[in-house]
Chains A and B, each alone.
Chain A
Amino acid sequence: MRLQLIRRDAASRLAMFGAPALALILTCLSSLILFALLGIPAGKALHALLLKPFLSWYSFSEVLLKMAPLLLIAQGLAIGFRANVFNIGAEGQFIIGAVCASAFPVFYPDGSFPMMLPAMIIAGGLGGMAYAGIAAGLRTRFGASEILVTLMLSLIAVQILNYLLLGPWKDPRGFNFPQTVMFPDNALLPLLFENVRPNISLIFALGASLFAYLMMERHFRGYQLRTAGLAPKAARYAGFSAPRMIWLSLALSGLAAGIAGASEVAGPLGQLQRSVATGYGYAAIIVAYVGGLRPIGIIASSFLISVLYIGGDSATVSAGLPVAAVEVFQGMLLCFYLLTFTLIRFRIQITRGATT
């Protein structure tokens, strides 16, 4: 007996909306069972995870705050993923972006540097782009797998961060904590609303989404990238330059991750500290996939994952849920998404007897 997946002719719209919805339902059901087995009040936990974030303006604003970096990074990553360029190291580009941006307030802690904030954002973006560029260069020049190179670069970035925070960039009056000076006011992003933390980085993220949409769905370059992903040979025959696709994908995703990193230190953190490396770069990979690698889907999935983060925080208090539950939820969501997406796009055919 043999199982075969047969591609359906016209189910893409169903897959686009059906797969994430079904995955979310399956994830909720499985985590209910898991929580029940672990003796965690499951209903209470799920209520906190999925509903609490909507019940107060403050929690909802925190969702928007989380959403900004996730959305920005994921939009960048998805462009590459669709062209089969797997930048797994957004975390590293995010950290390097944060580091590059921090250089200005670290060297001008009195805020005397003109155009401080724009300089930080640009430095962050360029830093992230250059860091991703290492992987692009090694891939196009030597054929080194960008998956492993970007991953290794991420781990090196953490060490660079540690080195700076424990050494040259440590705040001399910071009681030996591994963090830089607090940034001056002109190094901080303007807030979107009064009394809550979301800042204009959310606008960057939405702008990037619009850019990604226009490029991927409406522009010839996006068509080239998509072709490179779906049919590499066809892309080559059509004369689309593979190295250029690799450079473009990695540069754009590095740029986005770098700007996100800069926005994190110029936003909620207000200084460079170790906690800048909290895994946004990895979570954004999940966001990109659950969003179906499409710009509009990613807006929805980044919102959903942010809700889970904030809901997870409140569930630790109200339902005794460990922080790790959010990771479990994310992991399950992606597993179920990968499963449901295929099942909606393909149908299973069981052939008995002879194998081909």
Chain B
Amino acid sequence: MSALEFLLAGTLAAALPLLLAALGEMVVEKTGLLNLGLEGMMAIGAAIAFICVYHSGSHGLGFAAAAIVSAILAMVFAFLVIFVRANEVAAGLAVGVLGLGLSALFGKTYESLTITGLPEFGLPVLSQIPVIGPTLLTQDVVVWLAILGTVGLWFVLNKTKLGLIITAVGENAEAARAIGYPVAAIRCAAVAFGGAMCGLAGAYASTVYTPLWADGMIAGRGWIALALVVFGTWQTGRVAFGALLFGVLSLGELTAQAIGVAIPSQVLSSLPYIVTILMLVAISRHRHRASLQ
């Protein structure tokens, strides 16, 4: 296979952990909170999922356990920020460090063991298309489910009353409380959802993408996911697009090969962060101006 074919085959899978974690965080941020603990929540999800799959052989069980455990960790953040009114930056980092530490602690005896990943299958008919059929359109079941889930999330956020309430809570919590929405409960639910999504993202990384557990395997994906939410300006479609883009970039060397230029891989690895800073400037400047008028 050429580098391009590898890229086509690998991008969706590389993008998936970023996509799931970023969509979860996007919902959290839409309700007006910022949880910086993504990296830790993904790590604990990855460890728990690996342990579950290793013992039970069931990926479904692994994903479910990862989602639950990461959501519980996220609730620590929710509790500290919403009920105890702790500083959200500190609380997010605390949860992040805790998650990273716990994942290494639980996963220690599972280091360097392996499990089997998930089989890939193509979309009927479409997977017969040359080049993209056997590569881009042949993926594991989680990828297909995640694409469905992304569309579902877009629908909920943009076309339903629940989506409106979430946006209202984020944009003006006081007003939302005044018209009787349970702001704290909605924020808690969003944080739990964000945690569960991080758990799923971690589970994918450790049981499907590279079916093994290693300490530090999340390797900054949580931070990229955080960057993605900004990059995608809090809109489902753009976050999903960004995940694909950052997914390609995370395949660094391969991408450089495919586009045929010799760029140091560090430049490619920095791109998501540089792009995010530029996006932040662009968005904030817009708002900065609007507030002056």
Contacts and interface: CB of A to CB of B under 8 A. Distances in A.
Contact of A331 (B97, B264, B276): B97
A89 B100 CA distance: 18
A28 to B, nearest CB: 15
B80 interface: yes
Given A151-B223, A156-B273, A162-B266, A334 B94 contact: yes
A243 interface: no
Interface string A149-176: 1011101100110110011000000000
A280 interface: no
Nearest to A147: B89
Interface string A304-346: 0000000000000000001111111111101100110111001
Given A142-B285, A145-B284, A155-B223, A331 B86 contact: no
Contacts of B80: 335, 338-339
A5 B83 CA distance: 8
Contacts of B90: 285, 289, 334, 338
Contacts of A155: 220, 223, 270, 273
Contacts of B232: none
A342 B220 contact: no
Given A86-B89, A163-B266, A327-B101, A335 B94 contact: yes
**Central interface residue in A149, A159, A326, by most chain B CB within 10 Å:** A159
A88 B99 CA distance: 18
**Central interface residue in A148, A153, A163, by most chain B CB within 10 Å:** A148
A3 interface: yes
Nearest to A334: B94
A339 B84 CA distance: 6
A34 B105 CA distance: 10
B226 A332 contact: no
Contact of B270 (A86, A159, A285, A339): A159
A138 interface: yes
A144 interface: yes
A286 interface: yes
B97 A286 contact: yes
A142 B284 CA distance: 6
A148 B83 CA distance: 24
Contacts of B274: 152, 156
16 contacts: A142-B280, A143-B284, A143-B285, A143-B287, A144-B281, A149-B277, A152-B273, A155-B220, A156-B273, A285-B90, A322-B104, A324-B103, A324-B108, A325-B105, A331-B40, A339-B86
Interface of A: 3, 5, 34, 38, 81, 86, 88, 138, 142-145, 147-149, 151-153, 155-156, 159-160, 162-163, 166-167, 282, 285-286, 289, 322-332, 334-335, 338-339, 341-343, 346
Interface of B: 34, 36, 40, 76, 80, 83-87, 89-91, 93-106, 108, 215, 220, 223, 226-227, 230, 264, 266-267, 269-270, 273-274, 276-277, 280-281, 284-285, 287-288
